[in-house]
Amino acid sequence: MAINSVGVVGAGQMGNGIAHVFALAGYDVLISDISQDALDNAVTLIDKNLERQASRGKISEDDRKAAMGRIKTTLNLADLGQTDLIIEAATERETVKQAIFEDLLPHLKPNTILTSNTSSISITRLASRTDRPEKFMGFHFMNPVPVMQLVELIRGIATDDETYQTLLDVVERIGKTAASAEDFPAFIVNRILMPMINEAVYTLYEGVGNVQSIDSAMKLGTNHPMGPLELADFIGLDTCLAIMNVLHEGLADTKYRPCPLLTKYVEAGWLGRKTGRGFYDYRGETPVPTR
């Protein structure tokens, strides 16, 4: 099926990165969010990121302008109904995602493909609540979207071959690489990454190291570009906790128990970079460890 237009739900860090790469690849993009501020911030950030790419010669000035011209925003979810492909990238909470799909359904064209950028939630379960489980898939981008090469593709139990092939073609057109994962909690990347991040928080909780020593150890000792606590702040501690809860409940194994210290940070509203404070405090000139 030909995809020309894309509707992105949720204008947070993932939604704006997804809109950026699709607009650059020539798709018309309509972003929707419940907050006008989030929409305005997303457009400003996409503009800034495209400008940085242009200033470094990665894209031309014409590409930058054309991409910005293809991005539109709306507070009205129903407006996304006329797009060919929906990518839901709202908060990592199943009830939020279900409500979005329920609200979208009456406005959709019959052939529109529905996808979720969920980091962990069952694609089969999300799909089963829609009128088109055969046209529903997990479409999992990595953060920061304009930089990271991978997209995980997750078929639900009912996803048909045409939908899968269409998304493979889309991944190729946006210049990324697909990895297919089965629909089990947190798929591939987060099944492996998130327990490591959770273990880093346990290492902090138990006093084995402080924020700085844990991150330095993993950066310098294993060549990770970011330490696990810095990466957790980058992803968002609410998202990390949500993923651990899905792993814990979905696989019913205590090895996925979220660290109580991670829960405490989330309860405090210290969600990482997006709220200005997490394992580091970002409100000054340079990030300062909070423990």
Ligand X SMILES: CC(=O)CC(=O)SCCNC(=O)CCNC(=O)[C@H](O)C(C)(C)COP(=O)(O)OP(=O)(O)OC[C@H]1O[C@@H](n2cnc3c(N)ncnc32)[C@H](O)[C@@H]1OP(=O)(O)O
Ligand Y SMILES: NC(=O)C1=CN([C@@H]2O[C@H](COP(=O)(O)OP(=O)(O)OC[C@H]3O[C@@H](n4cnc5c(N)ncnc54)[C@H](OP(=O)(O)O)[C@@H]3O)[C@@H](O)[C@H]2O)C=CC1
State the nearest-atom distance from the C-beta of 193 to ligand Y, in Å.
10
Work out how close the CB of 60 gets to ligand Y at its nearest, in angstroms, rounded to a whole number: 28
Examine the residue annotation and report whether 122 is marked as an active-site residue of this protein: no
Considering CB distances under 5 to 8 angstroms, the limit depending on partner class, which of ligand Y, ligand X, none binds residue 100? ligand Y
Q: Does 240 bind ligand Y (CB under 6 A)?
A: no
Q: What is the DSSP string of the chain?
A: ----EEEEE--SHHHHHHHHHHHHTT-EEEEE-S-HHHHHHHHHHHHHHHHHHHHTTSS-HHHHHHHHHTEEEES-GGGGGGSSEEEE---S-HHHHHHHHHHHGGG--TT-EEEE--SSS-HHHHHHTSS-GGGEEEEEE-SSTTT--EEEEEE-TT--HHHHHHHHHHHHHTT-EEEEE-SSTTTTHHHHHHHHHHHHHHHHHTTSS-HHHHHHHHHHHH--SS-HHHHHHHH-HHHHHHHHHHHHHHH--GGGPPPHHHHHHHHTT--BGGGTBSSEE-SSSS-EE--
Q: Segment near ligand Y (CB under 6 A), from 7-15, 52-60, 168-176, 222-230? A: 7-15
Active-site residue, 41 included: no
119 lines the binding site for ligand Y (CB under 6 A): yes
Catalytic residue among 32, 190, 198, 230: 190
Question: Least distance in Å: CB of 119 to ligand Y?
Answer: 3
Catalytic residue among 20, 120, 122, 152: 152
Residues that bind ligand Y (CB under 6 A): 9-15, 33-35, 38, 89-92, 96, 100, 117-119, 140-143, 235-236, 239, 274
Which residues are catalytic, by number?
119, 140, 152, 190
